[in-house]
Amino acid sequence: MRVYVDNETDALYVSVADAEVHETQEVGPGVGLDYDNEDNVVAIEVLQFSTGRPAISKDRIEIETA
Give the start-to-end residue ranges of the domains of the chain: 2-51
Q: How far apart are CA 33 and CA 39, in angstroms?
A: 10
pTM check: above 0.85? no
Which tens digits make up the pLDDT trace of 24-33? 998 888 889 9
Confidence of residue 54 (pLDDT cuts 50, 70, 90): very low
Residue 66 predicted with pLDDT over 90? no
CA distances from 34 to 1, 51, 52 (A): 14, 22, 22
Q: Chain-wide mean pLDDT for the chain?
A: 82
Confidence of residue 60 (pLDDT cuts 50, 70, 90): low
